[in-house]
Amino acid sequence: MMRRSLFPLAFLALAILPGSAQATATVGQAAPDFILTDSKGAKQSLSTYKGKVVVLEWVNYECPFVKKHYGSGNMQKLEGAYTGKGVVWLSINSSAPGKQGFFAPDVIETMFKERKAASTAYLVDPDGAVGRSYGARTTPHMFVIDGAGKLVYAGGIDDKPSTEQADIAGAKNYVQAALDETLAGKPVSTPTSTPYGCSVKY
């Protein structure tokens, strides 16, 4: 079992632009398909959920920015509200073995339950292939895919790049807005934003 480790704030990526030379995901185009194993050992593919609105949430439970949203209950509230409307919510961890945020499946399941997470599944991407294909650079880094399989949002969860829970109340939640507009059949008014958080530990 891997021990938890603290990660110095000096190494946190506070504002990293989405995308990279390796990224293939582009807002307005089809989201890249993938197959990953979830924390229960089952295979999950994006194509399985064709016809559904899907959220991809890059996660690292040890990241202070992730702790902000889970410690306040903000992320769980969003997960529960939208999975209740038929949205598929996939939490993805691209931490490499031996790096911060990587845990054995049994530990993940315990942490998932402790946080009362309400996502559809927690997926493990230890070689980082899926993270790189989406240009995921921070935790959290959020993506919304519409029922046609098109990527309609990529960026931060909101517009307050801090670790303070008190900032959540006054923040503009880009993911909530993108989901509401997508479910209503409307174009997403803010399709991209700058993600913030800890760097993904590839």
Residue 142 belongs to a domain: yes
Residue 7 belongs to a domain: no
| Interatomic CA distance for residues 36 and 43, integer angstroms | 6
Residue 84 belongs to a domain: yes
Residue 3 belongs to a domain: no
Residue 1 belongs to a domain: no
Beta strands in 63-183 (DSSP E): 88-93, 121-124, 138-139, 142-145, 151-155
CATH number for the domain spanning 169: value is 3.40.30.10
| Interatomic CA distance for residues 145 and 164, integer angstroms | 28
Tally of structural domains, the chain: 1
Residue 187 belongs to a domain: yes
| Interatomic CA distance for residues 62 and 20, integer angstroms | 24
Count the neighbouring beta carbons within 10 Å of the beta carbon of residue 44.
20
CA geometry: angle at 41 spanning 38 and 45, to 5°? 45
Closest residue by Cα to residue 60 from 143, 125, 1, 130: 125
| Interatomic CA distance for residues 123 and 57, integer angstroms | 10
From the DSSP assignment, how many helices (H) and strands (E) are in the chain?
5, 9
Say what the pLDDT of residue 40 is.
93
Residue 10 belongs to a domain: no
Q: Helices 74-83 and 64-71 meet at what angle, rounded to 10?
A: 60
What's the whole-model pTM score? 0.88
Say what the pLDDT of residue 105 is.
87
Q: What is the pLDDT along the chain (202 residues), one digit of tens a residue?
A: 333 333 333 333 333 333 333 448 999 999 999 999 999 999 999 999 999 999 999 999 999 999 999 999 999 999 999 999 999 999 999 999 999 999 998 899 999 999 999 999 999 999 999 999 999 999 999 999 999 999 999 999 999 999 999 999 999 999 999 999 999 999 999 999 999 999 999 9
Say what the pLDDT of residue 4 is.
38
One-letter amino acid at 89 equals W
Residue 4 belongs to a domain: no
187 is in which domain, residue-wise?
Answer: 16-199
